[in-house]
Each structure stands twice: as structure tokens, then as C-alpha cells.
């Protein structure tokens, strides 16, 4: 008798999630000197997290565990290590599991007279991302989380392209110099990139639109960068990518409804917004909607419409699918990122300075 | 929070300014907006400005009623136009009110076709606010003019109903407990103006729930004698355009004077703060839009030239009218009179 051999599915590579802290995890307010000082002296219990972020990190960990894959959560912050204790207290209070946290040693910059480095984070973050990569399992897939306050989309995209060898040292050095990155950090980043380069490991870059920056601003970065208005949207994209299950999305949604006053209708609108922007395919959105509605996080369907209305609604849905598919196809065209255009848009000062020097 | 359907394709600056206005509202209020129109074009504008997606949904409509289209023809042939799709969304209960800067005639006809008139109301009226001087501290700096063009010629019955509707609207929206109602005429005596106006005067005077102050003449319109000005649509439309025109002429005259002599420029600079206040007072964009009164559902008609600010304010006025149950207030006022 032939024995049936059960095939075990191939083990999923571990997941490496890197998070920015301020404005991505924490609702830090440092627009004025007073706010900056207050932030510096805040205790863990005073700090406020962005709604849904803690639930999302826990959901990513839980989903990875269910899939039998490891999930590492690392925080990379440009804040000084002096506030590290308050941050760790806050993460403990939120029950957020994490595997590493890195701060920027601002005192060292002051001691070395590198005052420009106090405000310039691109070099620091790039170096820390490569260091973290080298310390993680080589086959790890990466998800990067940032915000629209500084240059997270630029830093993460440079990192992803250097890692995947889409960008070489000759191309990146002038870019970093134009941004004003410390030459020592430029050399270090290039050296680390050389050691880490190989896999195209960054699957998604999520940008939390804390400042409500128009999403079109991020089109220059290509479809890998997904700007999201809330962490429900982030969870939906992760579910569509197969990182989370519908139950995880429901958990994130529930935390937003229960702790931040979100309404099911608002969440449904957020989901539709993602579909219109081409970040989630209509079939995936429909599957999720079908699972989330019974969970009570999306509004219930109106009373069953008549036969003709149902037919009309079906046609409308199909039309919507086609429109959304067109948008998704147009926006998912793989194209090399034009960093010149990005710098001209995000850092016009850097571009002008370079022009004058030339 | 109420849901307001917004015709994204109606108006001289649609969809850009309309979508921008809705985006502004989404960031500053909890009002939910249902943008009706070409989904792709709406989305393109939306993604280029700051907005809050939690408060915005889009209903696709493939057609548009142009500003120059014949309203009757549009109603017959453009059933899938954003204006009519939005009106049907209100009828279906998906939205509490509709806002449009599009074709006024088509809007009035669309409402007449799809909305239901309040019991006892014969004709709908387009109400519009305009700035005027005040007679006492705390008086609303805006007067309500009913009708501004929906019903060209009116009989006495209709004028009386306009007075009741305008008074109810002012009570709810302007929060004037007992708005003063005036009837536009060519003299203050009750015998002036022809049969319809004389009859309307006598009947209005007999309604105890109405604070009727009698006939108002042209020069009273910009003073604070009445909070609600009642007239037939033809007269109302002329009055409104005249007020707008005069405000624009003031601006032009000031600009021309400033160019002619340095001393005049200096004088205008010294008066700049007051002139800015005058400009703000006469700026239609801050008043939102004009409600079409008389239906069980609400429709706010914005100026065709509306910019984002005007649309945002119209959406806020619509939400306020839904929250304050303006149609119910009008229905109660009319029922009392019957």
C-alpha cells in the first residue's frame, strides 16, 4: 500500500519589524521648546501612544506565532537615551513585546561639536537599520514603520534599495551628502550596506500620516511605501499581504473603537479609502469586510434590498472593482525610485545648495 | 453626526474646490460627507490635499449637469448625474441633506421630482442670507431672504408660507427666538403693491406666532428692521445680485482710487482694517449656501463660483440644519397655521 506523505508547508522566514518611536508609536509633541522640554521630563505613564499601535504590534506578534514564524520588533529612535527609561516603562505599561530599542546618542554629538547631527537623523537611522539587519536572521523579511514628520519614507526607501542592491554606493553617497549627512556616517552606512546587501527583504514601508500629509506626496516612493491615516488601515494592508488574519484586524479595530472613539462607519470609510488608493485589491477588501462585519467593527449592512437593487449594487461593485484594479495596476508599476525628484520635493534646500555648489 | 451628500461635480470650480472644501470639513469636524461624482477625479483631488478618510465616502456618478444645461432637459436625460444621484441618496436615507454648487434650476427641479413637500406647503423657496447693518447689539448681522429665485411669481398663500418657513429656519439656524419678518413692497402702507401683496400683508398680520413688522422697502433691506425678508423669487433674485454687485463695486472703486493717487492709497491703508471687516461681511464664502425650504429633506445650494471655504461652510450649515431638525420645525409652523 502506498503511504500518503503529508507535505509540511515550507517554514516562513522570520519577520523583522522596525518602528520609529516619536509620532509613530508615541504621540510626542515637540513643536515648541516648552513641549520639547516637557517631553524630556515625562514619565512612562505620562506618555501617550498613537491609537491602535500597541494592539497592532501585539497582533503582528500573535499572527507570526500562529504561523510558526518568529517576529522581531525593534525600535529605532532619534530621541536621546536619557529618555530611554520612560520609553521602556511606557512599552511595559502597554504590554508591548519588543526585542530591541536604539536611541541616538545626542550627548556624543554635542561633545564632538557635531551640532548639525543633532537635527540630522538620516545617517543615524540608516546606520542603525543596517546594524539591526546584520544582527537579525539573514532570511528575515522586513516591515518598516515611520511617520510623515521627518524623512522616514526617504530613509526607509534608501535602506530598502541599498539592501536589495538597486542602489549602489556611487549613487547613494551624493544623495546623503546633499541631505547633509555627516561624512563619517556616510562612510559607515555604505560599509554596512556592503556587508548586508543581497536580499530584497523590505516588503512594506508604512508611513503614519500624523500630520495628514496628502498621500499623493508619497507616490514618488512607489507602491512599497503605504501612507496610512490610522493603524486600522495599516492592519488591513498587512492582512491583504497575508501577515495578519481578519481576527487580528478586528482586534486592532476594536482597540480603536474602545479607546480612541473611532466609529465603525469611520473604519469602513478608511478601508474604502485604501481600496481607492490602490493599496488593497478589491477582492481582498471584500473578504476582509465579510469577516469584520460579523465581528461588529464595521457597521451592519442595511436591510436586505430588493432584487433589482441587489442587481444594480452588484454591477456597481463590479464597476468599482474594475476602477480600483485600474488604479492598483497603474500604481504598482515597478519603477526605479527617482531620488533626485524626491530630494527636489522633500528637501528643496538640499537640491538648491547642490545647484549653487555646482 | 449627520451625513451630508455633496455634489462634487457641480459648480464653476468643480471638482477641485468642492473636494477641497469637503477635505477641510473632514479635518475639523465629525460631519460625514458623501462625495458624489466621478470617483477617479474626486480621488485624485482628495489625495493631493490633507484629509481625514474616516469622514469621507464616495458614491460614483458617471454624468454631470452643466451650469448652462437646460434644467428640464437635464432632469429627463441625465438621471445618473451627480446632482440627481446625490438627491436620491438623501431620499434613500444614506444622507441627511445635500449640498451642491451646480445648476440652480436643475437642483430645484431635482428636489421637486424626488423630495416630498412638507404637508400644507404649496411651493418650495430658495432662502439666502445676506449681510446688513444691525439695529441693536446682538442682532444677527445676516438677514434671510425668502425666496431668492425658486418660485418666480407668487400668490398670497405662497408668500405667507415663505414667511412661516423663513421664520422657522431663522429660529433654528440663526437662533433668533422671535425673528422679525418683513414683506418687500414699494411702500410701507398695507394697501401698496397689488392684490397678492395686500392679501399677504393682511394674513401675515393675523398670525400670532409670527413677528410680522409690516412692509419693508428697498432701503430697509440692508438695515436691521427685519430678520426675514419675504418676496417672490423674481424680486429676491434681483435683490441678492444687487447686494453682491454693490459689494464688488466698492472693492473695484477702492482699488481704482488706490491706483490713482498716493494720498488715497495712504487713506485706504489707514482704513485697511475696517475695509477688511467690510470685505469679510460681504464675502459670500463665509455664509455657506442657501437652503431650499419646503421639502421634508434638506438641500443647500451654494454659489456657482463657490471655493473650498464656501463649500466647507455650506456643509456645516447643512449639518446644523439636519441636527436642528429644520424641516420638522417648518412642518410644525405650517401645521399650526393650518
Residue B209 near residue B329, CB atoms below 8 Å: no
C-beta separation of B4 from B34 below 8 A: yes
Q: What is the pLDDT of residue A31?
A: 65
The pLDDT of residue B295 is: 95
Of B32, B39, B49, Cβ closest to residue A323: B39
The pLDDT tens digits of the residues spanning B166-195 come to 999 998 888 788 899 999 999 888 888 889
Selected residue with higher pLDDT from B333 and A15: A15
Query: Within a domain: residue A169?
Result: yes
Q: Is A309 inside a domain boundary?
A: no
Considering all CA atoms of chain B, what is the largest pairwise distance in Å, rounded to the nearest integer?
63
Burial class, A265, CB count within 10 angstroms (exposed 0-12 / middle 13-18 / buried 19+): middle
Give the pLDDT confidence score for residue B30 in this predicted structure: 94
Dihedral sign computed on CA atoms, order A331, A345, B51, A233: positive
DSSP calls for A140-207: -EEEEEEESSSSHHHHHHHHHHHHTTSS-HHHHHHHHHHHT--HHHHHHHHHHHHHH-S---EEEEEE
Of A215, A269, A316, the CB nearest to B47: A215
Question: For residue A76, what are the domain limits?
Answer: 15-298+329-357
Q: How many CB atoms lie within 10 A of CB A81?
A: 16
Q: How many CB atoms lie within 10 A of CB A199?
A: 16
pLDDT at A1: 45
Q: What pLDDT sits at residue A357?
A: 46
Residue A312: inside a domain, yes or no? Answer: no
User: Which position has the higher pLDDT, B264 or B112?
Assistant: B112
Which residues in chain B belong to E strands, given as ranges?
Answer: 3-7, 32-37, 56-60, 97-100, 125-131, 142-146, 180-184, 211-216, 228-230, 290-293, 298-301
On the question of pLDDT at B34 being above 50, the answer is: yes
In order of their start, the domains of chain B are 1-121+294-324 (3.40.718.10), 122-285 (3.40.718.10)
| Grid cell at residue A332 | 504598482
CA A36: distance to chain centroid? Answer: 24
Q: pLDDT digit string (tens) for A104-121?
A: 877 777 777 766 766 778
Q: Does B32 touch chain A (CB under 8 A)?
A: yes
pLDDT in tens, B210-229: 999 999 998 888 888 899 99
Q: Which residues contact A267 (CB under 8 A, 6 or more apart)?
A: A232, A253, A256, A257, A297, A298, B54
Q: How many H-runs (helices) and E-runs (strands) does chain A carry?
A: 16, 6
Q: Other C-beta atoms within 10 Å of B175: how many? A: 10
Q: Which of A273, A297, A309 to mutate to test the interface with B (most CBs of B within 10 A)?
A: A273
Half-sphere exposure of B282 (CA within 13 A, CB side): 18
**Does A140 map to a domain?**
yes
Contact yes or no for A212 and B39 at CB 8 A:
no
Supply the ipTM of this predicted assembly: 0.85
**How many Å separate Cα A2 from the centre of its chain?**
49
Chain A residues lying within 8 Å of B39, measured CB to CB: 276, 320, 323
What total number of domains does chain A contain?
A: 1
pLDDT of residue B245: 82
pTM over 0.95: no
- Mean per-residue pLDDT pooled into runs of 10, chain A (358 residues): 57 92 85 66 85 96 93 91 89 93 79 71 93 94 93 94 91 90 91 90 96 94 96 97 96 95 95 95 94 92 63 63 61 70 75 48
Q: Angle CA(B18)–CA(B23)–CA(B25) in degrees, nearest 5?
A: 100
Beta strands B180-184 and B125-131, pairing class: unpaired
Residues 168-207 of B with CB under 8 A from A: none
A5 lies in some domain: no
Residue B52 with chain A: CB contacts under 8 Å: 212, 229
Report whether pLDDT(B54) > 50: yes
Who among A216, A265, A320 is closest to B60 (CB)?
Answer: A320
* Residues of chain B with C-beta less than 8 angstroms from the C-beta of A216: 47-48
Chain B interface disruption, residue of A212, A264, A308, A317, most B CBs within 10 A: A212
A215 touches chain B (CB under 8 A): yes
Least confident stretch, A19-23, A323-327, B119-123, B259-263: A323-327
What was the pLDDT predicted at B137? 78
The size of the A-B interface in CB pairs under 8 A is 53
Q: Which residues of A touch B95 (CB under 8 A)?
A: none
- What phi, psi does B34 have (nearest 5°)? -110, 100
Band of the pLDDT at B289, cuts 50, 70, 90?
A: confident
Cβ of residue A229 closer than 8 Å to a chain B Cβ = yes
Whether residue A38 lies inside any domain: the answer is yes
A270 and B40 in contact by Cβ < 8 A? Answer: no
List the single residue in B with minimal CA-CA distance to A262. Answer: B54
Q: How far away is chain B from the Cα of A169, in angstroms, using its nearest Cα?
A: 33
Min distance A51 CA to chain B CA atoms (Å): 14
Does residue A304 sit within a domain?
A: no
Please check whether residue A141 lies inside any domain of the structure: yes
Which of A212, A214, A272 is opposite residue B57, by nearest beta carbon? A272
- How high is the pLDDT of residue B78? 93
Query: CB of A320 within 8 Å of any CB in chain B?
Result: yes
**B196 or B274, greater pLDDT:** B196
CA distance B142 to B168: 15
Dihedrals phi, psi of A165, to nearest 5 degrees: 60, 25
Amino acid at each position: 500500500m502506498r503511504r500518503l506523505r503529508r507535505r509540511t508547508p515550507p517554514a516562513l522566514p522570520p519577520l523583522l519589524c522596525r518602528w520609529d518611536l516619536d509620532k509613530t508609536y508615541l504621540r510626542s509633541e515637540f513643536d515648541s521648546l516648552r513641549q520639547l522640554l516637557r517631553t524630556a521630563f515625562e514619565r512612562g505613564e505620562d506618555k501617550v501612544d498613537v491609537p491602535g499601535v500597541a494592539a497592532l504590534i501585539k497582533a503582528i506578534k500573535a499572527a507570526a506565532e500562529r504561523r510558526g514564524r518568529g517576529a522581531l520588533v525593534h525600535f529605532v529612535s532619534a530621541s536621546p537615551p536619557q529618555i530611554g527609561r520612560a520609553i521602556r516603562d511606557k512599552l511595559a505599561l502597554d504590554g508591548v513585546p519588543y526585542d530591541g530599542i536604539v536611541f541616538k546618542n545626542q550627548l556624543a554629538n554635542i561633545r564632538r561639536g557635531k551640532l548639525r547631527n543633532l537635527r540630522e537623523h538620516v545617517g543615524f537611522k540608516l546606520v542603525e537599520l543596517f546594524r539591526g539587519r546584520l544582527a537579525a536572521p539573514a532570511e528575515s523579511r522586513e516591515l518598516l514603520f515611520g511617520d510623515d514628520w521627518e524623512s522616514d519614507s526617504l530613509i526607509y526607501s534608501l535602506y530598502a534599495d541599498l539592501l536589495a542592491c538597486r542602489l549602489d554606493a556611487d549613487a547613494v553617497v551624493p544623495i546623503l551628502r546633499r541631505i547633509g549627512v555627516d561624512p563619517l556616517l556616510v562612510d559607515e552606512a555604505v560599509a554596512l550596506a556592503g556587508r548586508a546587501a543581497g536580499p530584497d527583504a523590505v516588503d512594506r514601508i508604512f508611513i503614519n500620516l500624523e500630520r495628514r500629509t496628502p498621500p499623493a506626496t508619497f507616490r514618488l516612493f512607489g507602491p512599497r511605501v503605504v501612507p496610512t491615516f490610522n493603524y486600522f488601515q495599516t492592519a488591513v494592508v498587512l492582512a491583504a499581504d497575508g501577515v495578519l488574519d481578519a481576527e487580528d484586524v478586528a482586534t486592532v479595530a476594536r482597540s480603536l473603537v474602545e479607546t480612541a472613539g473611532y466609529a465603525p462607519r469611520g473604519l469602513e470609510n478608511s478601508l474604502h479609502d485604501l481600496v481607492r488608493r490602490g493599496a488593497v485589491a478589491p477582492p481582498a477588501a471584500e473578504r476582509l469586510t465579510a469577516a469584520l462585519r460579523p465581528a461588529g467593527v464595521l457597521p451592519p449592512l442595511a436591510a436586505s434590498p430588493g432584487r433589482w437593487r441587489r442587481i444594480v449594487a452588484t454591477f456597481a461593485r463590479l464597476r468599482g472593482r474594475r476602477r480600483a484594479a485600474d488604479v492598483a495596476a497603474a500604481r504598482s508599476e515597478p519603477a526605479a525610485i527617482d531620488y533626485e525628484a524626491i530630494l527636489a520635493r522633500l528637501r528643496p534646500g538640499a537640491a538648491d545648495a547642490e545647484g549653487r555648489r555646482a | 453626526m449627520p451625513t451630508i451628500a455633496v455634489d462634487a461635480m457641480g459648480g464653476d470650480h468643480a471638482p477641485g474646490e468642492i473636494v477641497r472644501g469637503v477635505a477641510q470639513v473632514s479635518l475639523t469636524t465629525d460631519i460625514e460627507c458623501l462625495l458624489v461624482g466621478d470617483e477617479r477625479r474626486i480621488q485624485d483631488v482628495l489625495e493631493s490635499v490633507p484629509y481625514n478618510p474616516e469622514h469621507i465616502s464616495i458614491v460614483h456618478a458617471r454624468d454631470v449637469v452643466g451650469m448652462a444645461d437646460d434644467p428640464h432637459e437635464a432632469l429627463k436625460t441625465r438621471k445618473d448625474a451627480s446632482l440627481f444621484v446625490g438627491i436620491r441618496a438623501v431620499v434613500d436615507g444614506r444622507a441627511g441633506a445635500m449640498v451642491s454648487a451646480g445648476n440652480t434650476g436643475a437642483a430645484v427641479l431635482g428636489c421637486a421630482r424626488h423630495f416630498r413637500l412638507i404637508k400644507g406647503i404649496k411651493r418650495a423657496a430658495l432662502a439666502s442670507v445676506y449681510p446688513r447693518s444691525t439695529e441693536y447689539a446682538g442682532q444677527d448681522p445676516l438677514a434671510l431672504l425668502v425666496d431668492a429665485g425658486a418660485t418666480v411669481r407668487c400668490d398670497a398663500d405662497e408668500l405667507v408660507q415663505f414667511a412661516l418657513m423663513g421664520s422657522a429656519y431663522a429660529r433654528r439656524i440663526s437662533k433668533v427666538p422671535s425673528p422679525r419678518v418683513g414683506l418687500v413692497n414699494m411702500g410701507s402702507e398695507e394697501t401698496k403693491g397689488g392684490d397678492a401683496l395686500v392679501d399677504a400683508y393682511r394674513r401675515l398680520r393675523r398670525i400670532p406666532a409670527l413677528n410680522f413688522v409690516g412692509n419693508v422697502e428697498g432701503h430697509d433691506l440692508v438695515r436691521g428692521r427685519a430678520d426675514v425678508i419675504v418676496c417672490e423669487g423674481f424680486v429676491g433674485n434681483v435683490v441678492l445680485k444687487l447686494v453682491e454687485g454693490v459689494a464688488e463695486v466698492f472693492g473695484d472703486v477702492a482699488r481704482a482710487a488706490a491706483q490713482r493717487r498716493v494720498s488715497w492709497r495712504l487713506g485706504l491703508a489707514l482704513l485697511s482694517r475696517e475695509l477688511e471687516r467690510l470685505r469679510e461681511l460681504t464675502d459670500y464664502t463665509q455664509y455657506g449656501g442657501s437652503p431650499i425650504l419646503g421639502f421634508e429633506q434638506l438641500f443647500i445650494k451654494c454659489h456657482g463660483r463657490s471655493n473650498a471655504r464656501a463649500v466647507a461652510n455650506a456643509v456645516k450649515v447643512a449639518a446644523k440644519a439636519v441636527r436642528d431638525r429644520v424641516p420638522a420645525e417648518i412642518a410644525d409652523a405650517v401645521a399650526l397655521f393650518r
